[in-house]
Amino acid sequence: MAESPAGDPHDYPTIEPTSFDVVICGTGLPESVLAAACAAAGKTVLHVDPNPFYGSLYSSVPLPSLPSFLSPDLSIPLPPPTSSSGDGSHTVVDLQRRSIYSDVETSGAAPEPSRRFTVDLVGPRVLYCADEAVDLLLRSGGSHHVEFKSVEGGSLLYWEGQLYPVPDSRQAIFKDASLKLKEKNVLFRFFKLVQAHIAAASASGNEAAEGKIPEEDLDLPFMEYLKKQQLSPKMRAVVLYAIAMADYDQDATDSCEKLLTTREGIQTIALYSSSIGRFANAEGAFIYPMYGHGELPQAFCRCAAVKGALYVLRMPVSALLMDEEKKHCVGARLASGQDILCQQLILDPSYKMPTLDVPSGGSDSNLLRKVARGICIISKSVKPDSSNLLIVFPPKALEEQQIAAIRVLQLSSNVAVCPPGTFMAYLSTPCADASSGKQCIRKAIDALFTPQASDSLEGHQETTSENNEDLKPTLIWSCVYSQEITEGTSSSLLSCSTPDENLDYRNILESTKKFFANICPDEEFLPKKSAPVYAEDDSDSAE
């Protein structure tokens, strides 16, 4: 792997060979997974990145570097007037970069040394123990380059001004003192019904027919099915927003942005259920990568490099090389001025896609969506004796105008993202506009944390509070901003997805697999045989 200099274009390294099957610019998670999959399928791959590090929009960055990420300098170095290769028959289309972040507001002062805080650009984000991202890491050998910690504090639901543990198992249901006996019985009966359906779905013959939920119920809105099963409003909120991970208000059937069907809800419950207990050292359904999510792209880049992919950092793509009719992309001009030919070019979404007369693969979907995000440094855990945990605010939990769920992930020093004695908290909610989304994030911050007190108030707090556990964590520093969401474009020129509003990577990996199928239609996506052989197998461990 090579790093190019950030100075004079003549100082850039010359890349040999000058023709590859696939050229990828940007080392975000989808681009890195594609690089690993293409290299494993025998394609020659050149993987470049304008940055001096791996991860692009999926990076984990030191806190002092965050402002330059959210308000970046997106100029592309101009190459020398003559290219170092090519036959002159190409049409050159200059590229520009863009920022997907806006409306950035920061308050408070980060504790020193601030470089000890690592910030995820994709937060809040976790992996289910049983989801495909984990399977891909295991199959490709990427799991040998990243460690995980359990989100051992489980999930909390914000309901009527209080935080309640999410009853997600038989033991948790009957241990929950906040539930009435009838609620416990109804919820337990519902989970038993779902488990029977999941078991029947994987069975065959008569056994498959016996436990299945009828098709007409599977096609119902999930909210309607839960009402049919007589779950109380609070239990419906638990199932919909804290387990099935619905985003939008499922009560608003006429105006809901994404109405969850029973079938879709049960699929996520099945994933959640199968994640609990998969790894002996993971207490719940979720795990989090040590040092942040930026470790995941790096792991896949290492897998790609082992299979022969060539890496060059600090190397932007400055222009496209099109055929004479501007219908097909045949290569890329690098910031060094060198022309690289390829059969497939893939750009990360920080590049503006030029308007070209190119054939489309039919999967363009760039309707503008947004997600409001928040990053906080706090003084202690929201839940005593828990290091890492997930909090869910259902729609309308904070105000009537709150149309979508807000998710909060609290992380401690045991995942190496902050110093001992402090905690990181990430918040997000999908939104139609930045103003309303950021307002929801601020209200969630106000509900969970106490603003930094002045010296006089601090002393008053300490003398009047006999039980420090009753006090909310103090908010030390925060940043609230908006991020644009795009789903990528498919043509002779591919652009991958931005980080989305979801808690996991399922949608991003699904679109990545479709891109791979376009590039390598007859190849298996990251087959197990593509993994390097290591001395130890870690397939039964979360770390």
Tell me the domain boundaries of the chain.
2-100+291-366+487-527, 169-275
- CB of 380 closer than 8 Å to CB of 402: no
Secondary structure class of 370 (helix, strand, coil):
strand
Residue bearing tokens 């991970």: 245
pTM of the predicted model as reported, rounded to 2 decimal places: 0.89
pLDDT tens track, the chain, 543 positions: 555 554 455 578 899 999 999 999 999 999 999 999 999 999 999 999 999 999 999 999 999 999 999 998 877 776 765 544 445 678 899 999 999 999 999 999 999 999 999 999 999 999 999 999 999 999 888 888 999 999 999 999 999 999 999 998 888 888 888 888 998 999 999 999 999 999 988 776 555 567 789 999 999 999 999 999 999 999 999 999 999 999 999 998 777 888 999 999 999 999 999 999 898 888 889 999 999 999 999 999 999 999 999 999 999 999 999 987 767 899 999 999 999 999 999 999 999 887 655 444 444 444 578 999 999 999 999 999 899 999 999 999 999 999 999 999 999 999 999 999 999 999 999 998 999 999 999 999 999 999 976 543 444 444 344 445 568 999 999 999 999 999 877 666 889 999 999 999 999 999 999 999 999 999 999 987 655 554 444 444 454
Q: What fold characterizes domain 169-275?
A: Guanine Nucleotide Dissociation Inhibitor; domain 1 (1.10.405)
Q: What fold characterizes domain 2-100+291-366+487-527?
A: FAD/NAD(P)-binding domain (3.50.50)
Measured in whole angstroms, the distance separating CA 472 from the mean position of its chain's CA atoms is 28
Secondary structure class of 186 (helix, strand, coil):
helix
Q: Pseudo-torsion of CA 517, 522, 525, 528, nearest 10°?
A: 180
- CB of 491 closer than 8 Å to CB of 361: yes
The pairing of beta strand 339-347 with beta strand 493-495 = parallel
H helices of 149-261, in order, are 170-175, 181-201, 206-210, 215-218, 222-228, 233-237
